[in-house]
Amino acid sequence: MVLEGGCKKFDWIKAIKKQNKAKYKEICHSVREDHTYIEAGENDNLIVQKLSSNPKAFGVFGFSFLDQNNDTLQGSIIDGEGPSFEAIADGSYPVSRPLYFYVKNAHVGKVPGILEFLTEYTSEAAMGEEGYLTDKGLIPLGEEKLSNVRKNVLSLTPLTLNK
């Protein structure tokens, strides 16, 4: 769970896990519900509007929206690292993460177009440094990682991609 990463940084919360796993899960696997946190869904434009209207607010959204709105929004520095294309690409911005995409091998050959989709999705035109997925806000993998992903995906080999 993504929220649990922050809990691991506080000794007093880690201690709760040893004493009371249910309480730990309540703290570390939920988002506050006291109206301090406002769920805006996946509408990044709405999040940008809310942040622009409240200079004391924090928001969580994709880097592309920060990049497109850097005249009005400021990214947060986490553990001394600011959100930049390079820091996200190399994994040094601590709250960034890879995009995971799952396909069942059992569906290949049974669901039309899956192998063709995977071939296109992992192509240089899509995932490459100048690929169209970059235009959609995704940060491309380095050349070596991209080659490894492409090889594993097209051979239908399970892949674990570490930062």
What is the maximal distance between C-alpha atoms in the chain? 52
Q: Is residue 94 part of a domain?
A: no
Closest CA to 117 of 81, 156, 89, 83: 156
Residue 119 lies in a domain: yes
Contacts of 64 (CB under 8 A, 6+ apart): 136, 137
Summarised one tens digit per residue, pLDDT across range 123-162 is 999 999 899 998 888 888 888 888 988 888 888 876 554 4
Q: Tens digit of pLDDT for each residue in 71-89?
A: 988 999 999 999 998 999 8
Tens of pLDDT, residue by residue over 146-157, are 898 888 888 887
The pLDDT of residue 143: 85
Q: What stretches of the chain show up as alpha helix (H) in DSSP? A: 4-7, 11-19, 21-28, 44-53, 63-68, 85-89, 114-121, 124-127, 132-135, 143-154
Decide if 127 is inside a domain. Answer: yes
In a domain, 39, yes or no: no
Would you say residue 114 lies in a domain? yes
Q: Are residues 55 and 25 in the same domain?
A: no
Question: Does residue 135 form part of some domain?
Answer: yes
CA-wise closest residue to 61 among 77, 81, 41: 41
Least confident stretch, 3-7, 23-27, 76-80, 131-135: 3-7
Residue-range definition of the domain harbouring residue 25: 1-30
Residue with tokens 């796993």: 21
Say if residue 113 is in the same domain as residue 150: yes
DSSP structure class, residue 53: H
Q: What amino acid occupies position 71? A: D
Quote the CA–CA distance of 123 and 102 in Å, as a whole number.
17
- Shared domain check, 58 and 23: no
**128 or 6, greater pLDDT:** 128
Q: In 10 A of CB 66, how many CB atoms?
A: 20
pTM for this model (two decimals): 0.66
Flag whether 5 is in a domain.
Answer: yes
3-state helix, strand, coil in the chain (%, to 5): 45, 0, 55
- The answer to whether position 159 is within a domain reads no
- Mark whether 85 and 121 lie in a shared domain: no
How many folded domains does the chain comprise?
3
